[in-house]
Amino acid sequence: MVTEMNLRIEKVRETDIGLVLSLIKDLAAYEKMSDAVVATEEDLRHALFSDPPRVEALIAWLGREAVGFTLFFSNFSTFLGRPGLYLEDLYIKPQWRHQGFGRRMLAALAQLAVDRKYGRMEWSVLDWNELAIKSYREVGASPLKEWTTWRIVGSSLEHLAASAPSTSSKLAMGGADEQT
């Protein structure tokens, strides 16, 4: 019998990159967004294993089978004056849902946030994902109804960047966000 006690949650290894991309594609299919995935193994390798890494990931294992993953990164709260953990993705394969694995992964991230003295954890969830919403409420999370997520991508991002003052190009020089 499989129980959540058999679950191992481990930091992703470089040899897991193909698996992570496969899980991302599974997540995209579940979210009805398969066409949105343009990430490659090389993109993930750079993001996860550059110095410093841009993101972190954990994989949940039952024996030798991956049952899910999380991908997350640090953000910062100016009001708290402390970093936080932003959960970009949490995905459990359909056949492994309703067994507490997602909650265990959230708990592992919460422990990481506490250990790092982060002030909070936050994430987004699709409005129709009632299973996730119910799970998040059960662990004490609540939606930020007064906040709306905004995003700019592609040509709109490039157009906005083109309007930056010429001195802003120096901001990336030698900084933490410098691209290699």
4: CB partners within 8 A, 6+ apart: 99, 100, 101, 104
CA angle 17, 23, 24 (to 5 degrees): 90
Residue 98 φ then ψ, to 5°? 70, 25
Q: SS3 for 62? A: strand
Question: Would residue 118 show up in a list of annotated catalytic residues for this protein?
Answer: no
CA distance 62 to 41: 24
Q: Please state the separation of Cα 136 from the chain's center in Å.
A: 15
CA distance 13 to 109: 17
CA distance 81 to 75: 11
Catalytic residue among 86, 91, 118, 136: 136
| Residues noted as catalytic | 136
